[in-house]
A and B are shown apart, each in its own frame.
Chain A
Amino acid sequence: MKENPMAMQTDSYDIMAQKVIQEHRKVKWFQLRRLLKRKAAFLSLIILVLALVAVLFAPWIAPYPEQGQGAVNLEHRLQAPSPSYFLGTDVYGRDMLSRVIWGGRISLFGGVCIVFFAALIGVPLGLWAGYNEGISGAVISRVVELFLSFPSTLIAMAISILIGAGWFTAIIALIIPWWPWYTRLVQGEVLSIKQTLYVEAAQMLGYGKLYIIFRHLLPNIMTPVLVMILLDLGPAIIAIGLLSFIGLGTQPPMADWGLMVWEGAPNILSEWWISIVPGCAMFMVVIAFNIFGDALKDIFDSKG
């Protein structure tokens, strides 16, 4: 029944490899399909894709691109939603739809930037600190603890004040207190994976630290990191808005969603759309990221 492997032709290995790669794709597709089967997750994905398309193609999609960027239009101040101004206009007569689309550029770009760089800094440090219990690991852990013992927003504000206001500096100011969360998450995961026998088996084969970190630890911590990235995008968008509101983030005439909500707040009773429209946009995107991240987490969790 058993074949003699020597009798096999070499090209059959390629065929074998092909088959397995196909099977592998099927696995990935299976997970995706399970994800999309959840209505909520599917809906979230659609919202996110729409938002992304809108901000990427803002100059073509926004009805009044100049107004979106801040040009005033004083003769149409504070108009309620109408066919020519779909979502109404603000105090300077700017079209809300265009404003929301342009504001989304900062909010989404900023959110993604913050989370991406926080992970980029935090994950490798977490890997190193988790795997090395020596001095370098201890130093990283202490620094992380230090950061986590102060409220992140407070740190971000302080840094913003130091390096100056503006949407770009706000993003940097937010990355700095954000990465330690990733370090802490990864470090915890690594501590438990480190003890598994396959890591010991690799050590037995004489592989070095870096090899083990990148080949054995990293692939096995990617899932929780990915989920955390998705769950963090919403809070990051809100945080930029907060900084903008206290004057440390996006500077007028540009705006991000958070800033727009605050700007419209005084008129909420009469001209409700000025706050509600960007608020809704923010709310929908944040919730969509959350639902999508949650669904992803569920699906990965249930595999174990």
Chain B
Amino acid sequence: MAKLFEYQSKEILKKYGIKIPDGGIAKTADEAVRIADEIGYPVVIKVQIWETGRKGKGGIAFCEDAECVRENAEKFLGMKWGQFTVDTVLIEKRLPIKAEYFAGFIIDDSTAQPVLIFSSIGGSGIEEIAKEHPDKVAKMHIDYGRGLYSYQAREVARKAGIRGKILNKIGTTLAKLYKAMREYDARSLETNPLALTEDGEIVALDAHIVIDDYGVYRHPDLGIEIAREFPRPATELEKIAWNVEKNDYRGTFYFIQMVTDVPPDGKHIAFHGAGGGGSMMSMDAVLNAGFKIANFTDTSGNPPASKVYRAAKIILSQPNVVGYFASGSGVASQEQFHSARGFVKAFLEDEVDIPAVLRLGGNYEEVAIEILHTYLKDLPVKVEGYGKDDSPDFCAERLKKLVEENGGKLHKVKPHKEFEPKGTEYKIETMTGAIYIDHEVCEKCDEKPCVEACQYDVIELKDGKPVLKIDPEEARKGKCTECLACEIACRFHGKGALHIHLPIPGLKEYRDKIIKEQGV
């Protein structure tokens, strides 16, 4: 879930006519002081992180003068919060407060409705408030078709103990907050405290919005880089992975680093799951076998071979892992030879130096396993393929054995060499890359297995040379599924004239950097 920072959340609230304190964000102490001087003292200065509960952990300071602002800004900027490093602080005018409330909206999965929760006590955690003062908290399920009216919100506030004229302002504020939640595709929206100032205004002193990952595309204004849940800003490698995912709607590819700097302890493995439940089950199996996971990856939903190839290349950009474990549910509906070919291309390109256990159970698993065993048998390490009748636990034990046999050798990242065409090749553009065929070489090829390998009827022989059989536009739009069958057939059974170039922007530079560090 894409979490927004407090200042971003407040910008949204402002758009909906909700009052927020004057202020601004700063990335340096100088900026912080300038903002504070501009809005006037007293001010409050707050770290911008995704967690709540900043106050108790010393992430908020109140200041009467510039010196205090500078001191705290310097302290806050660069501060570590778990895996997160603070790089932004918010400086706001401190307002005289008469009362503090809590207002929040979440989605209740049991009724499939948004729920409004309002409390006439705010400031501290809502869970505690609800426990200690249940009479001060009221909630209401919202009819999605009708939305939330002010009169309904007033009734909720009344039940929470609000009386008098302020009910009107609270009612309209809550209705506006709901509108913001709905229109911004929020999974949740909270403002705590929502305050009543001495001069009778309702002001959101804090705000916390979580945007639904799947709705992020409707809000380019938010500038959310990666619409996935991360405990910290995305790493370089995760950004490279997200780019792959973003530019290819076929299937899903998720990549997160559990450890950003894999220690050379001989325990960490590369993990490549398929499907939520299957991945979880497989992860349990390797953890039980005593391994640790360097990354969590999931390629599922029938991804093309090209996507699995890119996933594997990204996974193999992590040094110090001792094995590669891929496993899904075991009984996948998708044709498993696509994943197998993706692995083959990636593993051959990188001449993989760590053993791998790839559990590819499901449709055509026998074909998938044969592809792995046939084309990866000459690697210096063992790659074993398994199917639906081999349990994740068994496979994890196999990997353990293979890692032992390999002496627990640590993976070394290799340079990412992109295919460089000479310029004279015959070229077929595909959805995310291109096929290059050196027709001069094809003349010496008797069998011409590439054409037969293409089950999608994309290429044909003309004058003894493989050429596109369909409209180039159709090939580009996905008729060529980037299944990699022609390339593998050509490499092993032809003369090696055919190369499929699948660019992964940024990976070459990333690997070069890692290799440099590796060398030290």
Decide whether A and B are members of one complex: no
